[in-house]
Amino acid sequence: MSSGSKINTIGVLTSGGDAPGMNAAIRAVVRSAIAHGKKVKGIKRGYSGLLKGEIIDMDARSVSDIVQRGGTILQTARCVEMTTKEGQEEAAKAIKAAGIDGLVVIGGDGSFRGALALSTYGVNVVCIPGTIDLDVSCSDYTIGFDTAVNTAMAAIDKVRDTSTSHQRCSIIEVMGRNAGYLALWCGLANGAEDILLPEFYDFDEQKIVDHIMENRKRGKKHHIIINAEGIGHSMGMAQRIEAATGLETRATILGHMQRGGSPTCKDRVAATTMGCYAVDTLCQGKKNRVIVEKRGMITDFDIEEALQMEKELPEYQVSISRELAI
């Protein structure tokens, strides 16, 4: 890729919930920028650190030995100030004061909205989707999802062992905020009897109770329910299901363990590709883009347009999950 003339210094930050593979993305941004002859600055703790001037110089050695590590070496934060006009103005000033003329933001939709706000103050931004939730509408893939699904899948397999031994019903709550992607993928991968998705849930627990009783008659020894965080209330649900079915029912909330751990190959490669693509995009003189994966290809969209896009759970996979739970 040819290097553009306007960008001398590239900044990089991670924002919102961390996701496995963010370190691989940081490494790719830093090393690719250096390969293009650019200086690199790392901003610590996302937009919060930016507002406090927590900016460090980075070189090729700053990102040694991190491609395999979970979390983010730059750390991250959820920054309420960035949702205000004053905060956005301060953040844009901090970018200019640091001499950063191209900023790579790694995070989810909320982080992209912060980047869009910065762009209105003349900051040139490029975003990379990084969240375990897969809920960035413009991209088919978000860094961290594959690792999180695999982590949850391994945990659910373990719960299933004990559930079968005790012939119990088990409710396992997975993360995903208001989106059901993690729950759907776990449900399919773990062969769950019920997958409760925020996009479709009708709060009719009697249907679940009936399904459990039907499956008992069919000879099933356990009943695994994957419940999405967006529905929540797993503990209360377990008590009500136990009372209605007479079957011992336990709830397990997997929580933040889904966000940690060494990234899978898919996440390392996606992060590395998107990190390099982000730097190429800046160096080509493009402004205010989101790097996305679409039908297996990496490409880029305008941020404002990207934030207006919509994405839905794949209907076919939702329907087969029901078909197979017999």
Residues that bind ligand F6P (CB under 6 A): 17, 78, 108, 131-133, 175-177, 229, 259
Dist CA 214 CA 218 (whole Å): 6
Encode 85-118: b = buried (16+ Cβ within 10 Å), e = exposed: eebbebbbebbeebebbbbbbbbbbbbbbbbbbb
Catalytic positions, please? 133
State residue 233 phi and psi, 5-degree precision. Answer: 55, 35
Q: Could you identify the residue written with the tokens 């996606």? A: 270
Of residues 257, 204, 199, the one with CA closest to residue 228: 199
Q: In angstroms, what is the minimal distance from the CB of 142 to ligand F6P?
A: 10
Give me 11's structure tokens. 């900044």
Nearer to ligand F6P, 113 or 211 (CB): 113
Which residue, 102 or 176, is less far from ligand F6P as judged by CB? 176
Residue (87 or 176) nearer to ligand F6P, CB: 176
Shortest spacing between CB 8 and ligand F6P, in angstroms:
33
Q: Alpha carbon 170 to chain centroid distance? A: 25
Residue 19 C-beta: closest distance to ligand F6P, Å: 7
The tokens 């306007």 sit on which residue? 6
Angstrom distance (rounded) from CA 307 to CA 326: 39
Q: Which is nearer to ligand F6P, 42 or 108 (CB)?
A: 108
We find the least distance from the C-beta atom of residue 256 to ligand F6P, in angstroms, to be: 6
